[in-house]
Amino acid sequence: MIVLAIVLLLAIFLLPNLWAKWVLARHARGRDEYPGTGGELADHLIRRLGLEGVRVEMTDQGDHYDPEARRVRLSRENYEGRSLTAVTVAAHEVGHAIQHQQGYAPLLARSRLVVVAQKAEKVGALLMMAAPFLFVLTRLPGGLAIVVAAAVISFGTAALVHLVTLPVEFDASFQRALPLLKEYLPPRDLAGARHVLTACAFTYVAASLASILNLGRWLVILRR
């Protein structure tokens, strides 16, 4: 029974990320018939849509849109790649730039929350590590509980960010990127593009579950 529970938990936490990686890899094969790379499509869309101040850059930090710098950042394989994954991911990230230009409220809220969550997660890690020592030093029965509660809130904030991110990602994928891709991709590739766009969002499902798993791991450590 315990083994089954462990297998089930691992499946819940790992499958979304594994599925997303499988989908992205499945459609990463080079397509010579495509007129440009992911980076070139992103640059073209930015100019076509008049997204002033937005630029495209290659990064080793993963595909993302930086609202502060107004940069669409693509991994090397998607920036230089001429594949369904490359052009679809590029369109997805441009979708975030469109959201930003239009003042899409959930994106702006997420950007503010990300800053808070990054600080809260660091504080949470420190509190988790310091909790047993603080309890010994203070000798207060409720001292440990207070510190653990603060740490739970800190780690929980990270999970909340990823959950809030989901509607932002789906909007960028299916309300912004997909209508654009329909103008550039052959009809036979649209089903694959939808799968890639879904995978882009599911990476945040995996990240949210990972945050929850990390919180549980620390709680187990503290109970020892």
Residues 193-217, mean pLDDT to the nearest whole number: 77
Q: Is 33 a catalytic residue?
A: no
User: What's the pLDDT score for residue 139?
Assistant: 58
Residues 33-40, mean pLDDT to the nearest whole number: 96
Which residue from 60, 170, 63 is spatially nearest to 107, judged by alpha carbons?
Answer: 170
CB 209 within 8 A of CB 13: yes
CB 54 within 8 A of CB 97: yes
Q: Of the segments 13-27, 50-64, 124-138, 145-159, which one has the largest average pLDDT value?
A: 50-64
User: What's the pLDDT score for residue 111?
Assistant: 85
Which residue from 165, 40, 22 is spatially nearest to 94, judged by alpha carbons?
Answer: 40
Contacts of 2 (CB under 8 A, 6+ apart): none
Mean pLDDT of the chain: 84
Task: Give the neighbor-by-neighbor strand order of the sheet with 71-75.
Answer: 55-59, 71-75, 64-66
Cα separation, 211 vs 218, in Å, equals: 11
pTM of the model: 0.82
User: What's the pLDDT score for residue 4?
Assistant: 67
Q: Does residue 146 carry a pLDDT above 70?
A: no
Contacts of 76 (CB under 8 A, 6+ apart): 58, 60
More confident call, 123 vs 57: 57
Q: Which of the following is catalytic: 40, 93, 121, 169? A: 93
First to last CA, the chain: 23
Q: Does residue 141 carry a pLDDT above 90?
A: no
Task: Return the SS3 of 95.
Answer: helix
Residue whose entry in the numeric block shows the structure tokens 């080079």: 30
Q: Does residue 68 carry a pLDDT above 70?
A: yes
What is the Cα Rg of the chain in Å?
21
